[in-house]
Amino acid sequence: MSSSEPVKLTVEEDTPHREKEISQYVCSPNMQYIATWSRNDHSIVGWSITNDLSNELSIGPINSLNTDDLKTLLNTDDFKQISLKSASDCKQFIILYFVYEAYYNFAVIDITTKSRQILNVQGLKDNKLYKYTDDITFLENGYLAIAKANPVYRAYIFSKLKFNGKYQWTCKNSIELEKYYDYYKCQIYKNGTLLLYFKIPHAITQWNLITQKFEMQYILNLNLRADFDYGWIEINRDNTLLAAAFYTINNLAVYVYSTKSGIEIANKTFSDGNYKFFDIHKFCFIGSREKERLLISFQNRLTKNYITYILNPLTYTLDEPPDTNVLHDILSQNYGVINDYIIKIDKNNWSIKRLSQNENWKNHLQSKEQYVGSTFFNTKEIKQFIRDTLDRYESNQFLTQSYSDVSEEFSGEAYTWIVTNEYSNINETQLKVHIKPNSEEVDKISFYSYSYILEIKVLKNDDIIFVSSSGIRIFSVNSKKTSIEFIYFWKESSIKSVYYMDNIQKMSTLEAQQFIIKHLISFKNKLDLDIHILPVPIFALKLYGKEIIHELLQQNKSDQINEMLSKFYKHSITLFESGDINNFLSFISQIAFALVELEKFNKNLRATEKFLSKINLLHYRICSKHYRLIDINKSSLLSHLQYYGIYAHPYLSNTSFFDYLLFWISENWILLKKHYPKIYNYLNPFYLFYLSYFTTYPQKTVRLIFPLLNFATYSQNYSYYELFYLHDNTFTSLDNSDYYKWWNIKALINFKWNVYGRHY
């Protein structure tokens, strides 16, 4: 029997759940164990999953809890709201929730000895977790992890130790979480990743609970509603991609981020008005390794029908229609897909098989994924091409081609690229494509190559890459639109665009080769950062804005400077409104870098005043009862939500004796005041300090946005000499007291203390 064939279990009178329907199941982190719950039978059964030498799956029940066991363990006979949360790889422990309203009562149960584990640590003695903010799960390394927000704001790591022949979970580490921001949800993943979603400023921070290191921050698209009740977040198996789904006012939006860079790399908006009648049924990554895909399944509230999307997160746009044929045999209300496993339940029978062996799935991957976008994640092949080219160049094998008007053909699996050089005033390279097998011709596209082409290569996905003295370009064929698309461009940022364009025709072959090698080296350096996607393409204003402004200042061109600044602000608005915060910051920082020069050139330009007014560095906000942000200053460029981040320290800190003491005081404050007044009077100053320092109240506030690069920040390179002489930055160099009216000094001092002061 192959691993793709389902393993079925027939339930007899004395078998698990007594022939009653299985209502829910949870799997252990490494798919070694599954626990099932039957709502009709009020019983829990544990099943062992094993792989033999031929990689076939075998499964069988090994332990269980009946109705009487659950009554004793949970001290209740109300089983209506029991739900399983997690199961351990050691095939012995389960976590379940029971009897909840706003809070879950949770229980960690040893299903083998039929005993309940007591987690005797501060903040967890009540065995309650808030269903919207807290999380608990087993990790793939065997530990148990819990994250709890209000009132304790801690994460806990438990390991199991054996006492008197029985295992007991003991607290290995208690970790303090951020108390100074209003975060709305904690989510723990099996590898120990902790995600904290912050309602304000609508951002997700990623931590590693094992190393306690800060890993990444994701600034979510600002057009999405900052209400996470109906939001979904998932991380893929190898921890390289984060997917988030949010309901907006009129539609549903899905965004995918790189965990290496925090950059948004793909998105899809479901804007059909009919989707207001749908709920997300499934949202998860399925498959394994490079064949991993994002599954989104919607259920119609009225008809109970499903619409399913299987999206390739490495296609940049996620622009694929729903597919009713892929996995149609299992995509229904009783299926489950976990990584490379398909689990299907039919009342009291269930089966498990591998997704990678499903014929429909294999056909889908082989025949339906030729579309624009995968090149952005094809870094391994492109990096090797760049390295090989550099090696040949450094060994004096100059491959730079001189001008030739003879067309050349470069054949791929699906397309044949035809490259022709034409000469007018500037050498131009033209591209045409013939689509196999009928040699259908696609409209041509051209670019200025200046006749210096280092090398041309057709990639495995049939995209074509050019390296020339004018930069690195990648083109692709959009088979749906039957067109050639220019999808990527890179050039060395130190090459000034104005000089470059004016002198490119006068270059010698040696000069062209020097430009080429600069492009290749800078591109290779970016790829070596291991971000898994191509570095962000270069735009002239984004990289050379400050140089362009500097040249205009040298030429005393006030009108052109104003025009340039207007273009910067206008383009920044477009980027911000589209949610592209990374590029927004890159553009706006070009102006910040040039402010001092602009002020020295002509104070009547009022460049800094306009800058502060446009980006609204201080933003006065109030928060309504529905968490809708109301802006006081509607004329600001950023009239929705300011970009500011969570000022995260590089490490999470362990719970200190001082933390334990203050929390104990807060728990017993009323008792101390009533029965132990002397102790109360002694502790009162410490407690008041605790309240003023850690407790936040709803109020009108002024928030300082995340400091803009080159404006209100300092270099990471510093020395002890700076204790006596601190270098200026752009903001402190401004010699005009009028500009300080834009700053709330108290807010600024509080900000600096919260961000920097606690490090010292």
The answer to whether residues 27 and 45 touch, using CB atoms and an 8 Å cutoff, is: no
**Single-letter amino acid, residue 726:** L
Provide CATH 2.130.10 ranges for the chain: 101-367
Q: Compute the distance between CA of residue 122 and CA of residue 393 in angstroms, rounded to an integer.
A: 64
Q: Which residue has the higher pLDDT, 460 or 235?
A: 235
List the structure tokens of 533.
Answer: 């996607």
State mean pLDDT over 117-125.
Answer: 87
pLDDT at residue 621, as a whole number = 40
Q: Which residues contact 52 (CB under 8 A, 6 or more apart)?
A: 58
Q: How far is CA 239 from CA 264, 379, 670, in A?
A: 15, 17, 46
pLDDT at residue 155, as a whole number = 92
Is the preceding omega at residue 437 within 30 degrees of 0, hence cis? yes
List the structure tokens of 116.
Answer: 């309940």
pLDDT at residue 35, as a whole number = 92
Strand order in the sheet with 483-490: 453-458, 464-468, 471-478, 483-490
CA 521 to chain centre: 28
pLDDT at residue 28, as a whole number = 93
Strand order in the sheet with 408-411: 408-411, 415-423, 427-435, 440-448
Q: Compute the distance between CA of residue 400 and CA of residue 405 in angstroms, rounded to an integer.
A: 15
Phi and psi at residue 350, to the nearest 5°: -150, 160
Q: Compute the distance between CA of residue 717 and CA of residue 503 in angstroms, rounded to an integer.
A: 37
pLDDT at residue 29, as a whole number = 92
pLDDT at residue 649, as a whole number = 57
pLDDT at residue 340, as a whole number = 84
Percent with pLDDT over 70 in the chain: 63
List the structure tokens of 657.
Answer: 């004796």
Q: Compute the distance between CA of residue 146 and CA of residue 669 in angstroms, rounded to an integer.
A: 26
What is the helix (H) or strand (E) element at residue 188, kind and residue range?
strand 183-188
Q: How confident is the prediction for the chain on average, in pLDDT?
A: 72
pTM passes above 0.85 = no
pLDDT in tens, 531-554: 566 665 544 455 556 666 776 777
What is the helix (H) or strand (E) element at residue 25, kind and residue range?
strand 24-27
What DSSP character marks residue 707? P
Q: 238: closest CA among 144, 326, 175, 313? A: 313
- Judge whether residue 430 has pLDDT over 70: yes
Phi-psi region of 212 (alpha: psi -120 to 50; beta: other; left: phi over 0): left
pLDDT at residue 533, as a whole number = 63
Q: Which residue has the higher pLDDT, 99 or 611?
A: 611
State mean pLDDT over 653-668.
Answer: 75
pLDDT in tens, 284-297: 898 877 778 888 88
Compute the Cα dihedral for 643, 649, 653, 657 and give only its sign: negative
- Judge whether residue 82 has pLDDT over 80: yes
Please, which residues bridge with residue 421 across strands?
429
Compute the Cα dihedral for 433, 435, 439, 442 and give only its sign: negative
Lowest mean pLDDT among 173-187, 683-697, 700-714: 700-714
pLDDT in tens, 405-419: 678 888 888 888 888
Q: Which CATH class is domain 101-367?
A: mainly beta
Compute the Cα dihedral for 386, 390, 391, 397 and give only its sign: positive
